[in-house]
Structures are given as C-alpha cells and as structure tokens.
A and B are shown apart, each in its own frame.
Chain A
C-alpha cells in the first residue's frame, strides 16, 4: 500500500485505494462510516436531563391521573 503512505493523497482517495470502494458507502455494502476519517465522531445526545424531572412535576400536579391509576 505505497499509495496510502503518500500523504499528498486526499483522504477519500486514500480510503478508496486502501479499501477498494468509495468512502461514502456508495455502490458497496458494509463499508465503514467514513467522514470519521477526518472528523471526530459527532456528539448525538439521545437524552435530555430536564425532561424526566419536568414530567415528574406534571404527574405530581395531576391528582386525577394518579388516582385513576390507583383505581384501576
């Protein structure tokens, strides 16, 4: 892989040379995620700290909701 040692090659081209397919996953299955070659993995939060506490307050304020559960 002499080409891969050539730092003048763009990252995408270097990836293609090394892996045999394009870095964006086109026309090939099971390629690795790609822009990660140059990017750090993006932060993608799937939880928000404020939500659970806010819901707890909503439930606390709703006596009917809680009593309906008790009755069921």
Chain B
C-alpha cells in the first residue's frame, strides 16, 4: 500500500502537484539523493585547465576521490560559470579514458608493453645523457655554443608555471636549446606586436574591464564560442549600451550577439585595419592630445627611410631589403639623431660577427614581452605633427591608399559597412568614451601575424584607447597558462621574463651581453639585475662575480631553433630525442605529415599526456601506416608514454589571459603511474645528476652545479610547488621574500627566477592563491590572485589621465595624480612610479628609470611612448602593410609585392606551396579555407575527444560551406566532402549554411570554407586532422605558422584510402604545376 501511494501518477492525481512538476515526480530514491556538493568531505579551490579565461573551480572531494567540479562563484573572472569543457573537467580528471600506467614501445615493436615507472625514468635519463653526449657542440663555426641540438622538447602551455620553470631550468642546464611550447604556434605574434608597440607583450587590459567599453571590436576571434565565460563581459558591456562589432570570415554565435557583423576575406585584416587607420587620420578623428603626448607620432624619422609608398606607385617594400638574403637591414628605419638598438636578441647578436640571416632568424622580436627595443642618443620631435618626416606624416602617407574602395576590393567588405564601423569606433573614442579590441589566433597565425596585431595597436593609439578603462587590446589566449609559458618560457629564444637567450659568439662576457642588450632608458635599463638574479636562482652558490655568475653555463642559440626548424632537424637526422609535454603536434602543428615523419626518424620519444594521443601512437595507427608510406616494423623510434597528473592532482599556478597568476590546489594525489610534470622533471633531474655525479667533464658542470634541492611532500615525493614559486619570486641575502622587481640587485645579493613575477610570493604569502570574493572588491579585484607586473590589472594606466594627471573625464576615470597625497591613486595599481609627478621632466643626460618623464605612460619603452611606428624590433617593417597570404587566389591589389618578402618558407617534398593570384593554374585551388575552434573541443583534442560529454556534443569533423558553393561543387548537407591541398587531402561532413557568405573581391566571387581543427584518428570522437592540409610557412618575427588563410579545392565524397591517397594529392600537384620553386619567391616586384 505504501509503495502504491508513492506511484508518481497516483501522487499527481491525488496530491496538490497536478502537473507533475514537483513532488509528484519524485520517487523515494530520488528524495533520498543528496547532491555530491553537500556530501563531499571538503572543497578544494582550483582553476579550470582548458582555455586561458581562467575560470574558478570548486573541486569536491569525498573519500579521497574527486566527486564533483563546480564553478567558483567568488571568482571575479568567471563569477561561478563554467563552459561545456570546464563542466566536463570531472570526466577529464576522473574518466576511464585516462591512461594509468607507463607504456613502452621498443624499436620496431608492433605494440605497447608495460614498464614500471622507475625503470622508465631511468631509461629516459640514460637516453638524455647519451643523446646529449652524441650531439654536444662546444662550438659552431668557431663560436661558443655549449649546447646540444640532439634533444628537443615541446609543450608547456597546459602546464603550471612551476612546471615550465623546472623544464626550462633543467633543460637549459643540460644544454638543450630546442625548448618550445604551444605559445610558438598560438600567440608568439602577440608578444612581438604588443611588446614593440607598448613595451610589454601581454594583453593591455583584462576581461572584466571589457564591461566598461562603449564599443568592442572582436576580430580574429569567435569570442562567444572559444572563450564563452569570458564573453560575459562583452555581454555586460552590451547591456550597458556598448556597440559590439564582429569582423570574421564566418558568421558565428559571436556575430549573432553583435550589433554589426562584418564578413571579411580571410587573410586581409591589415588592409581592413589600414583602411580604418586612414579614415581616422584623414578625417581628423584621432585623439590629438593623447597622440601628441603619449605616442611617438611627433618623433622625426631618419631621412634614409623609404616607405612602401615612396617608389612610383608604391611597390610594397621598405628600405633596407636584401633580396638575396631575404631580410631587412633595419638601420634606415631608425629615428633621426638617435640610435635605436634593435630587439633584445638582435641587440645581442649585433655584438660580434653574427651574420644578418641569423639576426632575422633568431626570434628576437619575441623578446619584447617585457621591455621594448632600446633607444640611445637623442632624437627630435615636432609636436605640431607637420614635419614631413615625423612618424605621424609617414603614417598618413603609408595608409593614404587604404581607402574604403580599396578595402572593399581586397577584403570584400562593402563600403557602407566599412563606414558604419569607422563611425562606431570613432564616435566611441575620446575623452568620454573608449573602444576595446579583442582578438585571438585568427590574427596571430599568418605570415604577417605580428603586423596584424600591430595594425590594431596603431589604431588604438591613434584613438587614445590604450591604458584607459574600457579600452585596450585584449589578446584572447587559448591554453590555461600559455601566457605563463611565454613569461616563464619554454621557448628557445627566451629566458624567464623575456630576457633573450644569448647568441653564439667567439667569446662574450656577461657585461658585454648586458652592454649590447640593455636599454639606456626605462626599466629595461635594469636588465643586469634581472639577469644576475636569474643566474643566482639557477646556480646559487656556484654563481659568483668571478665566473660571471655562471653566464657561460647558458647554451647559445645561433638562429632559429623553433619547433618548425626542429621538425626539419628530425627529418635530417640531427635531432634524435624528443619530449612531448602535453602537446600533440601530430594533430595541432602545421603540416602534420612532416611532424609524424620527423618523429619516425627519432631514436627516442617521450610523450606525457592523459590519453594515447596521436603523437604517441602514429607508429601503429597514423595516416602513413594506412597509406603504406610508413611500416610499423621499419620504424626504429623507441616510444615512452607517461600518464600525466591532472590539475586536481597537483599544486601550481596558471597565468590566464589577464596576465593573472591563479593557484590551484591539489585535491587528491594522482593514482598509479600518473605524475605531474613537476614530479617528472624534478626526479629526472635527480637521476641524471646522480648518474653524472663525480664527472669532471666541463660539459656537466652546469647540471651538477644547478640548484635542484626542492623540498618534497606526500607519498610520491612531489616537489613543493610553493617552493618553486618562491624561487620564481625571489629572495634576498636575509632570506626575505622580495616584494617587487625594483628590489633586485646585480651583485648576487638577490635571487629571482623570473623578474616580472617578482612579488607573487611577497612576504612569504602565496599571492596567487588569494581569493577574496569579487563581491567584496572593485572591478579590478586586486585581492584576487596576482597579476604581473606588480599586480597591475590595466597596463599603461597612467594614460587614463591627461598629461597634467587629471582624468580625461569623470566617466573614464581610473588612475590620477593626487596632489595632496603626492601619489597616483585609483582603482588599480598604478603602472607608473607611484610618486613621480606629472610635472617631472628628466635631465637630458638622465638614464634608466629617471629618464622616463611624468607624461610617459609606456614605462617599458625607452622613450616612454606608444609606438605608432616601430623603428627597430621587428624584421618585416616598421608599419603594417598588406600582403596576400602565402597561398591566395588573388593578386595583391595594393602593391606589386605579392607576399611578405621576408616570410619563412621551406621547400621540402612534403611541404609544397600553391600557385597564387595570376599564377598559371592557381585556379586548381580556388577556395579560401579558414580554421577555428569549437566550444566543445580543445586545441588538438587531447583534453576533449576522450571525454564522453564533449565527444557526444561534437562527434565529427565537419566543414561549413555556403549554399552557393554547395551548388557549385555538388556538396550535400550531411554528406561527405574531400578537401585537398598540395600537402594532403581530408574528408569532413558537409554543413551547408548561410553563415558562410560568398564575397565579392576584385570583380569576382570568392567562396570561403570553415573547418575546425580538433580532430585526429584517436579518441571517442575521431576524424581527419585539418593540419594534414596546412603548410609550414612562417611569420619571420616569431616563426608562427599560417593556418588561418589557405587555398584549397573541395569536392563531394570521401577521400581515397590507402596508397591511393598520396597518389591523389600528387595528381593535384601535377595539375597545378607545383614544384620545389612554387610559392618560394621572395621579392615579386617585377
């Protein structure tokens, strides 16, 4: 009777809940259920491990198991929200898809074998030692290198800062220079562009500040889907009346939520932004007082400089180009009367006799992450902005042909739409209003990626929108700590804090390195203190003034050692060992075939990840096995797979897209063989040091003298992550924790592992773990975690006040000078010397920080100004210039020069380029393809394709095509299409949608195809990889690949299988007349 009374239908009929929406629908078991959030034993504070929004997470633990993960409502960034990926992170951390044990594939083996963890660690240590000895280079061409090119590593953007610190420290001490991570292939362009423009390479603003914008331009990003939780701040701005503009080849949810959507041809944003720059200048819409005082608009440029426009008709080349070397000598770009030292790496390379091609290859533009190029001498300014050689007039001439008509012709944007956007951004800029720009890898991944972001920098400086609330440039980063893996770089060309890696010279002392590299003015003038403190952190008591603080222990670079050069070194047999640390290049890097063939040529490979990603299993199930190009039994590569610990199983900090370090606590210990990368590096270092103990070989001194004594905790001897953060922060000779980088000394009395993170452990408190709820503080939320530099949230915020120190307007008040207090005050940490008054003017011979005047907001720039024109620091031009992508269906309508003349291209069998524009047979690949990320998947898929929720939500690779293209190529909705380039062919389901719009460009219609890039052959959701199609063609500043604008062909049906596939691709190459010279041209001016 009791059971019958509980029957839901009876309860519904007899009780008050007649609609069955409440009690009637409950059974007794349901009523007895309790939320896991209630029954948990404890709640552990954490941070989402997916994209770089950095959402707060509460991790619920019961019986020492993670049972639930929820959004943390206290977080000022996320306010309790999680996107589908963050919500699925319980599956990521506790799901059955995680490998739990070490796996081993012996040379020529056909399957995995189990190996115990200790044995595997010992074997890897042996291989590191042997490869290092096999490939050691004391010198190259008579220049000291002290390094090995026989070993490389890749990965770090998904890891903690503390893990990246150990990777860089250990491998540097071993002499390994080929250390790279996802930052190379995702946002290296950002660092060089924002660094040269403003003095630091991080986002100038932070997500929450977007709510204060009056207009937001989102371009090169599908913000709403790729960073959904961060997008709430765009919606907050919209709710307050802001105008939202989305510029993108593809209509997406971001477009749907915008007030204006601007479809654009992929690969033409510089022409578009150049058009806006021209509009702002020619219509006198720029913020004159801001521009005159806070930018280099008034500075006079050398009379030797020649612009792209200066030859008849404008050929599209700057002065100083060496067509044979395919590089610019940038001397003529410099200011009149001043000597502008080049970017940090280049400044060093100018010392001695480094060849010019090495300068352009060394990735030195990347070193402006926190310190703009140095200035020396004196220079002249004309604050009327009338001098024909002042930056403003040069800029005006440079963009004079970027008219609305030209924009329409190149980009396919109708002139009326152009004017609507131009009106919106100019109406929403000035004293009372601000406009923000937000972008992601839609801008960075081009052969002119740096100059894309430079274009926005120029525009925002002209409009007076940098350093002001609701303004700025928001670089939307896509890995939890990709900002951190640039700051504490697992990158070949940088040391922590953007100190450049030293170049190879016959002999170079620390003082010569500093003298060649440090700026005379601004905070970069203190570089010796930053460097010596780093060397003390690395080598402790062994680092003394007598041995140059072990400066000689650092291995030297001699050109580019980026991940793309490393792949070629693998193919050429020069690199024999490779460690993949949370990165999946067999799916995520350009030209995946070359990635796999490179790995097939290794002696040994270490893969650390959650599941068996494609980069771990290519030898048994990769595409080349199917086509017969590789045979498992013939592959000699020895493969070790180590299962990784998840973010809930380790302590550490992520640096999010706001430049904010946020600590996540370990909720439980990792099970079985799963370990953190911190554990792996620490114990690998211990084993290697033990094996080398007693060695008298000079090559082993750096690893034996390394400070490697971190305390450990727990049953697994996990290094104490807080100790590593403390070393990153630094201490003085009294053992006191430093509170900021101004306390660093150059005499060895301070140690600091990363000067820009100095203050993160101030007073012995883990500042990155602070969690004062956002409801208890202002928008800047200064007591939530810690941002670099010096806990400043809005960079360059001195510019939020006028030259006299007063807010530009009450509405846009942020930081101002308080005369009574004698200091800068406001709702942020001032990005300026706190007591330096606006009236301060330096003496003519002032140096260092004293040379920065009271009206110089850009304190990391040697002249204190925002750079509209970059006189040094970039290798492909002082001002952004439109060039067509490497592969394009169109001729460059602005210049005879078709492509970036100094881009990096590689003529290899599996890396063929397409004919472009008017080239014969360019029509074989008539369509433009662009790539993108989905909400439900994450980069190369390792953290999403194995999660049931996410795999179910996005189960299959698809391509988006317009109805017109579908009709032209007989493509059926939900049917199959084959997409082809000279590199490969893939298949995808067809989605016919009006979201893809044909554009009218240069008198004809161009169709664009959208393609997500997450898939590979493994996981619950599998499919072909987009990067089978892409080529390795790189931006010359930072070596980032062009994967946002390709040309392709598309046809209905599935791709060929087996050996027919390479034959199919070769047939396309033959039809298009492609050979080793196609697309390799540098200068194309005839």
Contacts and interface: CB of A to CB of B under 8 A. Distances in A.
Interface of A: 8, 23-26, 29-35, 38-48, 50-52, 54-59, 61-66, 68-69, 71-72
B45 A59 contact: no
Contacts of B22: 8
* Size bracket of the B interface: 35 or more
Contacts of A54: 709-711, 720, 723, 726
Contacts of A50: 711, 713, 720, 722-723
A54 B731 CA distance: 12
Contact of A42 (B42, B731, B749, B750): B42
B23 A62 contact: no
Contacts of B707: 58
Contacts of B38: 38-39
A33 to B, nearest CB: 5
A61 B764 contact: no
Contacts of A46: 765-767, 769-770
Given A39-B40, A42-B43, 20 more contacts: A8-B22, A23-B73, A29-B775, A35-B58, A35-B72, A42-B58, A43-B44, A44-B769, A50-B720, A52-B735, A54-B710, A54-B711, A55-B737, A57-B709, A58-B540, A58-B735, A61-B540, A62-B536, A66-B749, A69-B732
A26 B735 contact: no
A59 B731 contact: yes
Contacts of A68: 733, 745, 747-749
B731 A44 contact: no
A23 to B, nearest CB: 7
Contacts of A44: 45, 665, 769, 771
A45 B42 contact: no
Contacts of B734: 59, 69
Contact of B43 (A24, A40, A59, A71): A40
Contacts of B722: 47-48, 50-51
Contacts of A69: 732-734, 749
A58 B72 CA distance: 37
A7 to B, nearest CB: 12
A42 B45 contact: yes
- 3 closest A-B pairs by beta carbon, nearest first, are A69-B733, A42-B43, A68-B749
Most buried by A among B42, B750, B771, B775: B775
B90 to A, nearest CB: 16
Nearest to B720: A50
8 contacts: A26-B80, A45-B665, A52-B735, A54-B726, A55-B731, A62-B733, A65-B536, A66-B733
Interface string B693-717: 0000000000000010111010000
B191 to A, nearest CB: 30
Interface string B17-50: 0000011000000000001011010111100000
Contacts of A32: 775
Contacts of B23: 8
Contacts of A58: 540, 707, 709, 731, 735, 751
A35 B748 contact: no
Contact of B764 (A25, A51, A57): A51
B45 to A, nearest CB: 5
Given A33-B73, A54-B711, A48 B766 contact: yes
Contact of A30 (B35, B710, B766, B775): B775
Given A25-B80, A59-B734, A71 B720 contact: no
Contacts of A43: 42-44
B768 to A, nearest CB: 9
Contacts of A41: 43
A23 B723 CA distance: 37
A36 to B, nearest CB: 9
Nearest to B541: A62
Contacts of A29: 775
A47 B71 CA distance: 24
Interface string B869-882: 00000000000000
Contact of A65 (B45, B541, B720, B766): B541
A65 B775 contact: no
Given A33-B73, A61-B540, A64-B748, A47 B773 contact: no
A64 B541 contact: yes
A51 B723 contact: yes
Most buried by B among A40, A56, A64: A64
B543 interface: yes
A69 B536 CA distance: 14
B745 to A, nearest CB: 7
Most buried by A among B23, B81, B766, B767: B766
Contacts of B543: 64
B723 A47 contact: no
A27 B519 CA distance: 47
Contacts of B37: 35, 38-39
A61 B732 CA distance: 13
B80 A24 contact: yes
A39 to B, nearest CB: 5
Nearest to B748: A68
A15 to B, nearest CB: 11
Contacts of B767: 46
A56 B711 contact: no
B79 interface: yes
B585 to A, nearest CB: 36
Nearest to B46: A42
B415 interface: no
Contacts of A45: 665, 766, 769
A56 B733 CA distance: 9
Contacts of A65: 536, 540-541, 733, 748-751
Nearest to A58: B540
Contacts of B43: 35, 39-43
Contacts of B366: none
Contacts of B70: 35
B76 to A, nearest CB: 10
A46 B771 CA distance: 10
Contacts of A38: 35, 37-38
A58 to B, nearest CB: 6
A45 B725 CA distance: 14
Nearest to B44: A42
Nearest to B59: A42
B775 A31 contact: yes
A14 to B, nearest CB: 14
B544 interface: yes
B735 A59 contact: yes
Contact of B774 (A25, A61, A62, A71): A25
A63 B720 CA distance: 25
B1081 interface: no
A68 to B, nearest CB: 4
A35 to B, nearest CB: 6
Contact of A63 (B81, B541, B771): B541
Contacts of A48: 720, 722-723, 766
B387 interface: no
Nearest to B761: A51
B731 to A, nearest CB: 5
B74 interface: yes
B711 A24 contact: no
A33 B751 contact: no
A66 B732 CA distance: 9
B68 to A, nearest CB: 11
Contact of B73 (A30, A35, A55): A35
B966 to A, nearest CB: 40
Contact of A59 (B35, B713, B733, B769): B733
Nearest to A29: B775
A45 B665 CA distance: 9
A24 B56 CA distance: 12
A24 B58 CA distance: 13
Contacts of B58: 35, 39, 42
Contacts of A39: 37-38, 40, 43, 58
Contacts of A64: 541, 543-545, 748
